[in-house]
Amino acid sequence: MSAWISKIRNRLTLWYVGIFGLILFGFVCVASALHYLHLQDQLYHAEIQDMETVEGLLYFEPDGRLSLRQDYFIREEHRLLLDRLLEVLSMDGNVLFRNSKLGNDSLGGARTASEGSADFFRHSLRLASGTHVLVLSHIRPVEGRTVLIRVGYSTEPIRKQSIQLFGLLILVMPFALLAAGFAGSKVANKALDPLSQMAQLTQHITAHRLNERIPVSNADDELGHMALVLNDLLERLEKSFQQLRDFTSDVSHELRTPLASIRSIGEVGAQADYEAKKYRDIIGSMLEEVSRLTGMIDTLLTIAHAESGVLALNRSEFSVNELVQEAVSIVRVLAEDKGQAILLSVKDEVDLSADRPFMRMALVNLIDNAVKYSPEKSEIRILVEIVQASAVGDSSMVRISVADQGPGIPEDARERVFNRFYRLDESRNSEVQGVGLGLAITNWAVEAHGGIVSVSSPANGGSLFSMVLPVTPVNMIANT
């Protein structure tokens, strides 16, 4: 039962039937009541006619008793009048006449103040015998004496009739409800069937079949919209699963290199007898690889956290100029070692709202990259300027570009340069330290701030990396 009720379609039907039943019941009650009132009204009009007839038939006998002319009842239809209850009172309250039907009962006892004074007075009462009657009172003179005439009809017949009607309608109700329930469940099924179809389809889509999609029959209705939303979700899931797979394979591949070194160094060291200094060297060498591994894992975790949105940006307002100068001062020693010159030109002074440590890291990586891949005694030019971007709202953007005189980056590799572990020339890499995460970190940091990093190769050679950042934060969803 609880399983049955837990289904939306069944609950819907139940609600439908319940509400329908309530409305129907109300309707039956009102109809019966109206019917009763209508019959009572008819009775009232009949009583008025009777009253007028009775008034014409009353007379005082010589001995002073009030009587009803009997000769009138010869005609059959007038016999009906005998069904009425009749009582005549004198104005001082004495009973002058009661018909046989009424017997010893009283039609309301002594006269109340307002009774019969104005036209016909209508009221309901209950006789001693228990019958409900509708009574009409009228004051009028009979042969010179003013009397109060009361005519009453039992309301029992019309009451019965109304109850019968009520009962009949109630009797029909279950059938109506059954029909409503049937119709309701049909409608609910029709509405919900596509949903269960969708659920079935979705159930079939597992982690390995994320490329499947739910067919959208009508994109405009609610269910079509739902299917679109689900498809969108699937797409994002597929993308992140793919990312995860790439990540895992990248990582296992990249971690193997230092692990292999550690293993070889350790194995070789363990096999022969060396002097203490040599052992220290071996351990040191292993530790260096461990340190490389640790650094790699840290960086990867940072990227992973960032991509999953766990890492929150800690924004503050700072001068871009100062940040660039700081980054340059950090990397300058590396450039000096290679006899390179870093030329910084600030075209516009800009204050930026961003996570300063991350932006510093992004910038250091970018400049370090330029130093690493540029020949000795070359120049690295850094330019800070404001650019107006129409693409992202109408807030102004700041562009920081780093131009080097290195070999440049082939066009087909420009997209992938920012990918994790991507290194251009594998053969040349052995002499250049790094694990191919620097630009990935830079890319992530800039994108997290709603900016873009790109690389191009100017006509005069080298490569030009530039990051464009919105000066004020833009609300955007990262990783779209």
Residues near another protein (CB under 8 A): 280-281, 283-288, 290-291, 294-295, 298-299, 301-302, 305, 310, 329-331, 333-334, 336-337, 357, 360-361, 364-365, 368, 433-435, 437-438, 441
Distance, first Cα to last Cα, the chain? 46
Beta carbon of residue 270, minimum distance to another protein (angstroms, whole number):
17
Of 330 and 386, CB closest to another protein: 330
Q: Which residues contact 66 (CB under 8 A, 6 or more apart)?
A: 58, 59, 60, 88, 96, 97, 142, 147
Beta carbon of residue 246, minimum distance to another protein (angstroms, whole number):
21
Beta carbon of residue 337, minimum distance to another protein (angstroms, whole number):
6
Of 288 and 379, CB closest to another protein: 288
Of 333 and 477, CB closest to another protein: 333
Of 29 and 312, CB closest to another protein: 312
Beta carbon of residue 257, minimum distance to another protein (angstroms, whole number):
14
Beta carbon of residue 471, minimum distance to another protein (angstroms, whole number):
24
Beta carbon of residue 252, minimum distance to another protein (angstroms, whole number):
19
Beta carbon of residue 316, minimum distance to another protein (angstroms, whole number):
14
Of 257 and 302, CB closest to another protein: 302
Exposed, middle or buried by CB within 10 Å (0-12, 13-18, 19+), for 300? Answer: buried
Beta carbon of residue 454, minimum distance to another protein (angstroms, whole number):
20
Q: Which residues contact 251 (CB under 8 A, 6 or more apart)?
A: 300
Tell me how far apart the alpha carbons of residues 433 and 435 are, in angstroms, rounded to a whole number. Answer: 7
Of 81 and 446, CB closest to another protein: 446
Of 91 and 287, CB closest to another protein: 287
Of 207 and 333, CB closest to another protein: 333
Of 244 and 283, CB closest to another protein: 283
Of 13 and 365, CB closest to another protein: 365
Beta carbon of residue 340, minimum distance to another protein (angstroms, whole number):
13
Beta carbon of residue 301, minimum distance to another protein (angstroms, whole number):
6
Of 267 and 412, CB closest to another protein: 267
Beta carbon of residue 225, minimum distance to another protein (angstroms, whole number):
36
Instruction: Please choose, from the candidates 327, 347, 306, the residue with its C-alpha nearest in 3D space to the C-alpha of residue 449.
Output: 306
